[in-house]
Structure 1
């Protein structure tokens, strides 16, 4: 939408001029069941530093009825344009503005999202305001450093519940009058309204034994699946751990967690009213990895109550610090909190989050952790692997560098000093310098202000008797991808080096046991490690053991030879995950052929106990074969993988997480008539596997594969939807229909997504997922030209979330060819492209270029 951007310089000027006091927001949601628009009345009180100055307030609304500034009515036709209301001739000191508008419900997950549950036909509402979408609900100074208090008054339909940042009041005549919030930013205010199901409890703790009310909400149609006790357990664990580490009382009056439909992200840290995607209310059996991921999300948002909500970044260039801190502390809580179910959470971090970071950091769009955010368009595409995962990795190294106790002592001082205020990175680093005695300026410059990833390699010499005569760590700084800004640099790393020896496991096999660990600082191109000289050469040398630093790690030839046969024999999960990640990175870089990666996985995965790692390996193997394997060998690789998956499915313990994971892996690539017959038999009950519960979600997985291979048609999809007439069922059915291998099915999808704009965000995502099938490259090939003909207009005409789904989801990533690169380059030659759109397409192009190189490497290996 034109005019919805805001530059950093505009925000600076507005912040220099204004100090916001309070908002009073009156919303009439009485017609929410019917949708359309709702009346929004905003009264904002603020001070101006200058008499006669002019500024603006933000609002995205179909209609503005009244604008009254300091008692003077302004003509909306004159002052409202391009999502801004001009405010001329301010008074020095206090000013009061009243804006009456009709705002619109959305189905895109932005602003005030409206969803109708097909089960009870009731509407459910929730807000999502990060980054700039509070202005879709009320007039606001939409930037994080203009904090104020917020008092909501909401009229809602009878029988509804309304939840906001302040404790929920008793309604009077269906009107809910909330008390003012503390001083917070616009983007963490929230309203959730509808006939939600609720469960309540409390947390008691802290030095004063304070009781904090806790609430969990979901739609009634999900209530039977809501495991509230497990969610409360994780929440209380987080309260206990954060209270101790932060030494600052929980800053809000209550803590609600609301599982809401069609949510675009994992969750959102609204102050005291966290919204969470309701796929985390598990309708069917899932593996423990899903519960671990949910717990990390819950803890991440709870950490934000202090870091982000209590103390808030001044501008979005410090978004990384918000997200990295919450990520680091949530995983540290899982790893270290007493009685945690997931003490090995750093294994999951190394295996998934850091893999995401490594991928993002090798794209042409790579950027420093502390990115230059010039405007809102920049930040909207910056919720990426660098902001979350690389930043958290670097924070983990910072903790190792300054010391755990010193780190949290600095954080405690930071909270006390800046409570309810706004800060910059320098404020946190200053506090950490005080508590640790370390000068962090050089560290910050090397790690936070540069882009790219380093590679660490061991250089080992041994004598004829196998004794190490020299040991050093070689650090490399590969050139940044073409188009990336800046230059590659060598950085200081705090790492551990682990040595591992094979020893009998007592059952006729072997195990890899760590025999020594050296922790040191690595800096410059070559760092000598005299501590290991004179020792007998171990079977495996692992750099960055314990995953303290952020770097790509390579094994020396002897270690690589050992792990090819014994990767699954590490006694601990973290070193296994680190070696798995290194092998995957080598595959993506074309240093390890896709077919060799497949063999490595098949040789070690049967010994992998960590279910999260197993499921990641499933995804990576499929991706390697689909994109990185020589096309001439691809079908051979898929056949071998599918047969192995079926073998492991049948061998897995009945009812185990591994059995479920292998079932899904097998279903994703089943291809022969016999394999598809098994899927169909599991679906209709004529085939059974001991211990395997073919429940609702698994049934949809089976059916979707059958639809994609032409074995299930509309009648089967309709019948399954009749068994599961829920919103999740509707999405699964949409995916199955879009997956059908016919030109008509693909044309129908294209028309509904590209040529029309009626689909809700979650349904559109489901349809795109079904459209893109790796077995259907030829069927999808004609859509490459159509994509480039349509994508620019889509970006202009759709909301950010909807447009981004289309831009990324429909890019012809499966068409791995020079022709796709040429078509992309021709489109990128347009000089009139919005930078955010250009970035998304450039990132997608990089994936095709990488796949071409990997395919060539695999062909050479063959």
Structure 2
């Protein structure tokens, strides 16, 4: 992997010499299971006499021809780059090579369906992987048109960015598809998807009167579960919303959405050919949280057609411009254009929790990040780039006014269509429509790191009225920027068994202390909620009385966003070791039964598991986990039959089961000897129940083999890998470790699931013997694997569950001895921060 890097300086130097015009890419996908033939013709201008390079990750280069002169492949190509000397003012380069299929989800991924033996291909090129398929100047500011000609089995569907043409018969049952040139786009959003996909087609009418063909694709063995009509409905709602708000019609000719196997991300915004993880094809019941997340993802990728694809960042330091904007836009579109009207509550529960956690890691960075090379950007697809940026854009839209914000964005699209931009280009347009100077705002919010904390400070008189009220802003010593916030303060009082907001004050908070004279004379309520309505990006704290009210009456807050804010405040205080993990467990178990928002429920139950397993004092860990399991089983029994809450309580019960009694319940549910009203034990839930039994030592490899025989699918293989890695013995953990560290043939989805099972433990001591092998393997894994596989191994096999001083010290020692691998170090720095936070929380809980 290190030899595949590209630095920002190299990209800038190349851009100064070269400007690309067009690519003609000819691919033959009928040459066997390992390689495909790739012939690329690139037309570009150059500085006469200069030298540069083009990216091409190949197995074999057959020929390289520059301006009619054949170059010796053995001299100019090293399998990653091809050196180009003596450029002319106008250049034509032809590279003929064999490229390799991958099973890592990078480049052109090849998958064989275990159900029917059919082969499916799809591309994933962000950040630097179109070079795995064709010769390319792999950087976002060298845009060009792309013409793909693809030969593949005649029975296949073949999809790219342009509308799919009629195929022409080729050799031996194959056919050739010759796609028309695209508009000028960046290489990382080009796409190739090929295989016997099942497709459902429809269309819509764009705001400029064009008919836009639509397609939804999935593997044949999953097609029965594809709810294409619903996906089309959300797509139409998104089109209408964005075209109106942006005042710019959809910029491409068609819109295909393809659900593909073993995908590393949620989705990818290839222009006109968006790929999604096929976990969004629901073969079993899923939570409402996942249903909503799919809608947000659909609208996130659609937003990218404008922000990212039509207008693209010049270099990856402005990646946030793409991702933060899509995060914000998809949330407001979901809330305003679909039935998921509480999308901002979901955003608070999930996205902002992610952002706050990421922003408190030693690896935090400004939203506008320093990106020196490709390895830097690979690790920056994080909670800052997505969730913090989206939160800050929400704040900016509120500050400049939503109409001015949309108007500025529309002007930005029209001015820079099919071009590349930097942050200043967007700020110029927003300043013009809003009349506000955004330079200081940008400096404070986009160019500095860290998250502040807002706390109420007040005094009350003998009658219980406020005699003074202020908001205190504190910031960490390492990131000491005091930022301005627009926020609301809500006063909540208990009335007829409900916590009801009786007053709301909205104000600007700036500096270390902001007085709130409007509240002087008001009677102290039962709950004071800073940042009510979630306008600001900041952690909040509850005063002592408010915290006591929350613990006793959180469930009685009627507004789901207010509940989510209180849940978040309690969790932040626990993570920061200001409140005990045991108190957090009590808060959750006492109030979660009536939570109605699925994502809030899912997020909070996940945090409950982390608190019980990592944050409570070690001497009470097993008792706490047991109690949590007991409570989750009771909650599942008492929940409404068939409800989302019942379903989630069962899923988390299976994940947190820890006693023989818990195992009896899991076995009874799985074999049908007991049942919960309205709960169907479908295929995926059966796997989760089995994993719980494996965790307890009540099922083993033979049970996993039997389950896989019943569900011999890609999903089944992944669930089996996860369950097998959960086997709670040193031998079982070692086998899981060796299966991905000692062997490099496993596909990405299997490697990821091995990591998930490896860390699933009741007694973390079982991981202790793997600590030294883990650290011994890091360098070789990093040097020999692709980025995504290395990431899954480094993060998935880190024995975080140990959360011990020994693991802390060993991690520190590795970091001290390995200063020259920045991206790998960042993963270990973040892992170490998790251990240090757990140790602080354990100490607080013990106290």
TM-score scaled by length of structure 1: 0.97
Distance 2:128 2:297 in 1: 22
Partner of 1:353: 351
Q: Does 1:243 align with 2:243?
A: yes
Partner of 1:460: 458
Partner of 2:710: 723
| CA deviation map 1:718-770 (0-9, x unaligned) | 22112211110111112122212233322222221111111000011112222
Distance 1:743 1:807 in 2: 19
| 3-state SS in 1 of match to 2:583 | helix
Partner of 1:483: none
Partner of 1:471: 469
Partner of 2:391: 393
- For 1:431-580, what aligned pairs fall within 5 Å after superposition? 431-480=429-478, 487-504=479-496, 510-580=497-567
Q: Does 1:272 align with 2:272?
A: yes
Partner of 1:72: 69
Q: Does 1:592 align with 2:579?
A: yes
Offset of residue 444 of structure 1: 0.4
Partner of 1:507: none
Q: Does 1:119 align with 2:119?
A: no
Give the alignment's Cα RMSD to 1 decimal. Answer: 1.1
Partner of 2:43: 45
Partner of 1:143: 139
Partner of 2:202: 201
Distance 2:546 2:668 in 1: 45
C-alpha contact 1:125 1:192 (8 A) present in aligned 2: yes
- For 1:6-85, what aligned pairs fall within 5 Å after superposition? 6-31=6-31, 34-48=32-46, 50-81=47-78, 83-85=80-82
C-alpha contact 1:129 1:189 (8 A) present in aligned 2: yes
Offset of residue 529 of structure 1: 1.4
Partner of 1:290: 290
Offset of residue 219 of structure 1: 0.1
C-alpha contact 2:819 2:825 (8 A) present in aligned 1: no
Partner of 2:414: 416
C-alpha contact 1:3 1:82 (8 A) present in aligned 2: no
C-alpha contact 2:218 2:260 (8 A) present in aligned 1: yes
Partner of 2:339: 341
C-alpha contact 1:450 1:488 (8 A) present in aligned 2: no
Offset of residue 713 of structure 1: 2.1
User: Please, which moves more after superposition, 12-21 or 587-596?
Assistant: 12-21
Offset of residue 831 of structure 1: 4.3
Offset of residue 157 of structure 1: 1.4
| 3-state SS in 2 of match to 1:774 | coil
TM-score scaled by length of structure 2: 0.98
Distance 2:634 2:696 in 1: 21
| CA deviation map 1:48-78 (0-9, x unaligned) | 1x21111111111111111100000111111
| CA deviation map 1:581-627 (0-9, x unaligned) | 11111111111111100111122112211122112111111110100
| 3-state SS in 1 of match to 2:469 | strand
Distance 1:637 1:544 in 2: 32
Offset of residue 3 of structure 1: 2.6
Which residue among 647, 662, 667 is the counterpart of 2:654?
667
| CA deviation map 1:610-652 (0-9, x unaligned) | 1221121111111101000111111121121111111111111
Runs of at least 5 residues in structure 1 that lack an aligned partner in the other structure: 481-486, 505-509
Query: CA separation of 1:707/1:831 partners in 2, compared to 1, >3 Å: closer, same or farther?
Result: closer
Distance 1:2 1:265 in 2: 23
Distance 1:144 1:421 in 2: 10
Partner of 1:745: 732
Offset of residue 82 of structure 1: 5.7
| CA deviation map 1:353-380 (0-9, x unaligned) | 1111111111111111100111111101
Partner of 1:167: 163
| 3-state SS in 2 of match to 1:571 | coil
Distance 1:743 1:852 in 2: 24
Offset of residue 705 of structure 1: 1.0
Partner of 2:595: 608
Distance 1:818 1:674 in 2: 32
Distance 1:88 1:105 in 2: 29
Partner of 1:649: 636
| 3-state SS in 2 of match to 1:66 | strand
- For 1:831-842, what aligned pairs fall within 5 Å after superposition? 831-842=818-829
- For 1:709-788, what aligned pairs fall within 5 Å after superposition? 709-788=696-775
Offset of residue 826 of structure 1: 1.4
| 3-state SS in 2 of match to 1:167 | coil
C-alpha contact 2:534 2:565 (8 A) present in aligned 1: yes
| 3-state SS in 2 of match to 1:781 | helix
Offset of residue 671 of structure 1: 2.6
User: Please, which moves more after superposition, 562-571 or 669-678?
Assistant: 669-678
Runs of at least 5 residues in structure 2 that lack an aligned partner in the other structure: 170-174
Partner of 2:172: none
C-alpha contact 2:58 2:79 (8 A) present in aligned 1: no
Distance 2:537 2:132 in 1: 39
Partner of 1:405: 403
Q: Does 1:583 align with 2:584?
A: no
Offset of residue 116 of structure 1: 0.3
Offset of residue 673 of structure 1: 2.2
Partner of 1:176: 177
Distance 1:677 1:558 in 2: 42
Offset of residue 792 of structure 1: 1.0
C-alpha contact 2:641 2:678 (8 A) present in aligned 1: yes
User: Please, which moves more after superposition, 595-604 or 771-780?
Assistant: 771-780
C-alpha contact 2:145 2:184 (8 A) present in aligned 1: yes
User: Please, which moves more after superposition, 53-62 or 716-725?
Assistant: 716-725
Offset of residue 341 of structure 1: 1.6
Distance 2:734 2:828 in 1: 23
Partner of 1:306: 306
| CA deviation map 1:274-312 (0-9, x unaligned) | 000000101111121111000011100000000000000
Distance 2:154 2:210 in 1: 34
C-alpha contact 2:59 2:79 (8 A) present in aligned 1: no
C-alpha contact 2:39 2:94 (8 A) present in aligned 1: yes
C-alpha contact 1:119 1:221 (8 A) present in aligned 2: yes
| 3-state SS in 2 of match to 1:182 | coil
C-alpha contact 2:782 2:824 (8 A) present in aligned 1: yes
Distance 2:818 2:110 in 1: 37
Distance 2:814 2:807 in 1: 11
Distance 1:744 1:541 in 2: 52
C-alpha contact 1:397 1:494 (8 A) present in aligned 2: yes
| CA deviation map 1:528-575 (0-9, x unaligned) | 112222222222111111111110101122222211211111111001
C-alpha contact 2:657 2:696 (8 A) present in aligned 1: no
Partner of 1:702: 689
Distance 2:794 2:654 in 1: 28
Offset of residue 456 of structure 1: 0.5
Partner of 2:105: 109
Partner of 1:153: 149
Distance 1:70 1:615 in 2: 59
| CA deviation map 1:788-821 (0-9, x unaligned) | 1111111001000000111111112112221111
| 3-state SS in 1 of match to 2:153 | coil
Runs of 4+ in 1 over 4 A off after TM superposition: none
Distance 2:3 2:724 in 1: 38
Offset of residue 774 of structure 1: 2.2
Offset of residue 832 of structure 1: 4.8
Query: CA separation of 1:576/1:390 partners in 2, compared to 1, >3 Å: closer, same or farther?
Result: same
C-alpha contact 2:490 2:503 (8 A) present in aligned 1: yes
